[in-house]
Chains A and B, each alone.
Chain A
Amino acid sequence: VIHVYLGNPAPVEGVVDPSADELTLVALDVPGGAVTTVDIAHDDLFAAVAEVRDLWRYHSSGPPTWVASDHDGLAAVLASGFGCPAIDIDAGVAEVVAANDRASTAAGDAMEGTPGDVRDLGDLR
C-alpha cells in the first residue's frame, strides 16, 4: 500500500441533498488548512497519478501546498504536476496530527458555553 499526504489549504467535504440525491461540495473552515490522506493499494503508478489528480477536486478547492509519500517517485511526479514541493514523509505524517489538532481546537472554539457549564438538555427519553 502506498500512502500519500497532501497539504490542503482549502478543504471541502461532500454533502448530499437527500431529496435530490445530488452531491454538493461545501468549504470547511479549518484555520491553517487540512491534510488529505490517500491510500493506494496497487502498484500502477500511471493509474495512481490519475487517481490522485481526479480525487483532489472532491477534497479541495485549491491546489495542494505540499505532497509527501512513502513512494518517492510518486511524490516527485505529483509534486511536479501540482506545482508544489515534495516534503519528507515523516513531516507529512506530523502534519496530519497537527491538522487534526487545529480542527479540534476550531470545533471547541465554536461551541457555546464554557467548560464546567451545566445546561438543561430537557427530557431526552
Chain B
Amino acid sequence: VRTNLGTDWHARALGALTNSKTGTGTTAPTATTITLDDATAPGSTSAWNGQLITCGAVFGVIVSNTNATPPVVTVDRWYDPTTPGGAAGTTPAAGRYQILAGMAPAQWMAITTDATAAAATDTTLGTEETTNGLGRAYATYAHTTSAASYTLTKAFTYTGSASKVLAKIGVFNASAGGIMTFESVLNATSTVNASGDVTTVTETVTL
C-alpha cells in the first residue's frame, strides 16, 4: 500500500523543484540538529519535512523544524554519502548549508510482528522492531531497464533468542521517524527462532 503521505512524498519527489533554501550557520550543529542562523521562522514545524539538507561533507534527512527565528532543523542523522547505509557520518562544523528541493529517497525498511492490514492512512509501523538485527535498515535497490517497477530488498539477520513471527514491513525515507511511504503485509509470515536466522524481504514498488 502506498500511504497517503507516500503519495504526497512521491509527487514532491518527482515534480517539485521548489522549497529549497541556502544560507550559512554560525551555531555548531549537533548529531541531529542544525540551526539556520540567517533564516526567519518558516511558518510551520514541518516546513521541510522529508527533504535533504547538506552541510560540509555530509547530509541529513529533515524530520522536523522549529517555527522560530532562527529555525532549528532536526535531522534523522548525518550521512556519509559514500556509505549511506553504514554508520552515521561525522557531525559537520557550522557553515554553509543547503536544503535541497525534492524529497529524500525512501530506502529504509522496517519490520514488525504486527499483522494488522496495511492502510493508506497509516503513518507509522505498529510495534516496529528496533533491536537484535531487526531494526530499520537501508535496503538494497534494484531496477530493470524499461520496467515500470523497482524493488527494495533487505536480509535481516536475527541476533536475538525469542521466537518472532514477522508479518509486515514499512518503507521510510529516514533512519528514524521520517515519512512512511509504503506499508505491506508479507505474502507469508517469516519466523525467526534463534540468533543467526535470516529473513529476506523484497518490496516491489510500481511506478
Contacts and interface: CB of A to CB of B under 8 A. Distances in A.
B145 interface: yes
Interface in A1-57: 1, 8, 11-16, 21, 23, 28, 30, 34-44, 46-48, 50-52, 54-55
B167 to A, nearest CB: 16
A16 B82 CA distance: 34
Interface string B122-140: 0000000000000001101
Interface stretch (A86-94, A96-104, A112-120): A96-104
B202 interface: yes
A58 interface: yes
Contacts of A103: 145-146
A54 B200 CA distance: 7
B116 interface: no
Interface residues of B, number: 30
Contacts of A12: 144, 147
Nearest to A41: B85
Interface residues on A, range: 35 or more
B106 to A, nearest CB: 13
B142 to A, nearest CB: 4
B198 interface: yes
B202 A47 contact: no
A55 B151 contact: yes
Contacts of A48: 140, 155
Nearest to A21: B1
Contacts of B155: 44, 46-48, 50-51, 54
Given A50-B200, A51-B140, A59-B142, A42 B86 contact: yes
A14 B83 contact: no
Contact of A28 (B143, B147, B154): B147
13 contacts: A1-B83, A13-B144, A13-B147, A14-B147, A34-B144, A35-B144, A38-B141, A39-B142, A41-B83, A41-B86, A43-B86, A54-B153, A54-B200
For the complex of A and B, the 8 pairs showing the least CB-CB separation, nearest first, are: A41-B85, A14-B149, A103-B146, A13-B147, A47-B155, A14-B204, A50-B155, A99-B145
